[in-house]
Amino acid sequence: DQQVKQNSPSLSVQEGRISILNCDYTNSMFDYFLWYKKYPAEGPTFLISISSIKDKNEDGRFTVFLNKSAKHLSLHIVPSQPGDSAVYFCAASGSDMRFGAGTRLTVKP
Amino acid sequence: DGGITQSPKYLFRKEGQNVTLSCEQNLNHDAMYWYRQDPGQGLRLIYYSQIVNDFQKGDIAEGYSVSREKKESFPLTVTSAQKNPTAFYLCASKNVREETQYFGPGTRLLVL
């Protein structure tokens, strides 16, 4: 029962361009959404979050957009840097937290 | 320097053996969690604890056990009943009044 889906297992972008990572969810009871960044053999690190009462949250190069009617959120990274290359997990929180399968982002110099 | 520590970084289990993964946090967080990550999959919840001396099963608790005798510590035992234990295990914690969970560095468990 995948309540949180990241349909793109990988994404490759050129340095300086925009990276857009997408996430869909099915449970309308989720009220808080998070993005985590993970390097190999390390734990995920918290990146940015958004409450369901908002539709946008920005932190430096990172912006998360939430479309509740479509049950869709996205993470925009502008401009993308080689150090952003990692696996990105989206997570949705309600009575518990559910994670997507992750998207591997590769930023090419 | 506050944070979550997990040990060991790598752990090898022999057939029929129980092994225990350590998780310690000094963030004064009330809630602690254990997740399992398999290749190409998201994190799946094994067990969680909202308060000392209390814990709840997650989605994949079979073959695992936990204890929460201290606020700072939430060890996970992988028992011989867990038939497919090879995975990357992640511990997390959070303040119950907040939503964000913070993760430790993980332990990779391998079966000999």
The DSSP secondary-structure symbol of B53 reads T
Residue B16: the pLDDT is 86
Tell me the nearest-neighbour CA distance from B30 into chain A, angstroms.
Answer: 15
What gap in Å lies between CA B75 and CA B83, rounded to an integer? 19
Provide the residue type at B99 as one letter.
E
Residue A82: φ, ψ to 5°? -55, -35
Provide the residue type at A41 as one letter.
A
Per-residue pLDDT tens over the stretch B54-91: 999 999 999 999 999 999 999 999 998 898 999 999 99
Portion 4-23 of A in contact with B at CB < 8 A: 4, 6, 9
Q: Is the pLDDT of residue B1 over 80?
A: no
Provide the residue type at A43 as one letter.
G
Interface test with A, best of B21, B27, B37, B97 (most A CBs within 10 A): B37
Q: Please provide the average confidence, as pLDDT, over all residues in chain A.
A: 95
CB A70 within 8 A of CB A18: no
The DSSP secondary-structure symbol of B3 reads -
Beta carbon pairs, A and B, within 8 Å: 46
Q: Which residue of A has its CA nearest to B37?
A: A101
Structure tokens at A1: 């029962």
Per-residue pLDDT tens over the stretch B29-55: 999 999 999 987 889 999 999 999 999
Q: Is A89 on the interface with B (CB under 8 A)?
A: yes
Q: Which residues of A touch B102 (CB under 8 A)?
A: 46
Mean pLDDT of A92-101: 91
Tell me the DSSP string of A27-50.
-TT--EEEEEEE-TTS--EEEEEE
